[in-house]
Amino acid sequence: MAPPTELLARPERSSAPGSRAMGRLVAVGLLGIALALLGERLLALRNRLKASREVESVDLPHCHLIKGIEAGSEDIDILPNGLAFFSVGLKFPGLHSFAPDKPGGILMMDLKEEKPRARELRISRGFDLASFNPHGISTFIDNDDTVYLFVVNHPEFKNTVEIFKFEEAENSLLHLKTVKHELLPSVNDITAVGPAHFYATNDHYFSDPFLKYLETYLNLHWANVVYYSPNEVKVVAEGFDSANGINISPDDKYIYVADILAHEIHVLEKHTNMNLTQLKVLELDTLVDNLSIDPSSGDIWVGCHPNGQKLFVYDPNNPPSSEVLRIQNILSEKPTVTTVYANNGSVLQGSSVASVYDGKLLIGTLYHRALYCEL
């Protein structure tokens, strides 16, 4: 006969395997839920990136690549006199670059010339050219005809807005001010509304690269639009997946914002206190980047990425494609959306902006070439 202590111990030994089995079952269940959520987030991200989309070519007959632009012209802005500014050489973590060791710059092209060519503008002494990493740009003409150029800059992958005065006679930029602010943690694009006043998009809420990735992966919709002036800085619109291009209507009544991963353009009404209220949203079937406005018609020209996965996972044998849309009558019930140009990457990779002037079209890219076309 077994001692009483052994009889008491046997039930304890027999219950241990059951506890371990239950623990393993819970662990497997939690792992299954985590994998399911991971798969769902990956699928959602692929859909937001339009990872399966291919583009059919739409050619323009009179186009040529612009000499001197080899490593991107992310944004373009054109003055009423036909002088076009190019933001070139953007570098960003995880983004391909054809000139990783060369700082960025600002180029200018006179579209009134018979054979216009791009020239780099000199920048005044004292500005750190070695770390110049320009992104979105915008011009503003003051009442005294002074031209200001606003440039989103990422020196050492930080976030600033640089304000320059354009000195046409010297083909140069005089640096006036560097703007930094806690409400500008991840600036993408900008539209100037005064000599030191602007609206800017934050494509992410965070500035840290890992937190940015997590924010995108989880689709948090924390991106926003900020109004900046020397006297006031405030968030004026929020809830975007990834706020990107921004511009203003010719009558100064509306602000247009591209939400690149949501494939949308938001129309926001501007108020006297500079606050914005949403008026409508135009849904598209592509990743919308920078927005340019034709001042004569009010049409919106958009540089787009048909397939965002190709843009961020660069393969020279399967490069990112390009697409340019023209949007007419965006305030109407049914705006007209026309594909003006599309290419599979054989000519132009990763179009980010399209700007028009007097029958001429300029198409810039995130990190590739730039195209000049006669419409």
101 is in an annotated binding site: no
Tokens representing 28 are 């497997």
DSSP string for residues in 256-324: EEEETTTTEEEEEEE-TTS-EEEEEEEE-SSEEEEEEE-TTT--EEEEEES-HHHHHS--TTS---EEE
- For residue 35, with 0-12 CB atoms within 10 Å meaning exposed, 13-18 middle and 19 or more buried, which class applies? exposed
The answer to whether 173 and 106 are in contact (CB under 8 A) is yes
Q: Which helix (H) or strand (E) holds 354?
A: strand 351-357
Please identify which residue in the block is written with the tokens 């000049």: 372
**Radius of gyration from C-alpha coordinates of the chain:** 25
202 is in an annotated binding site: no
Measure the CA–CA gap between 192 and 206, rounded to whole angstroms: 23
Measure the CA–CA gap between 114 and 167, rounded to whole angstroms: 23
Residues 6+ apart with CB under 8 A from 258: 243, 244, 245, 246, 264, 265, 266, 288, 289, 290, 291, 302
Nearest to 361 by CA among 31, 55, 76, 135: 76
189 is in an annotated binding site: yes
289 is in an annotated binding site: yes
Measure the CA–CA gap between 197 and 201, rounded to whole angstroms: 14
Nearest to 137 by CA among 201, 66, 208, 69: 201
The answer to whether 249 and 257 are in contact (CB under 8 A) is no
C-alpha distances in Å from residue 204, one per residue of 65, 178, 187, 208:
32, 21, 8, 10
137 is in an annotated binding site: yes
188 is in an annotated binding site: yes
Q: Please give the positions annotated as active site.
A: 135
Q: Which helix (H) or strand (E) holds 36?
A: helix 4-48
153 is in an annotated binding site: no
74 is in an annotated binding site: yes
* Residues in the annotated binding site: 74-75, 137, 188-189, 244, 289-290
Q: Which residues are annotated as a binding site for Ca(2+)?
A: 74-75, 137, 188-189, 244, 289-290
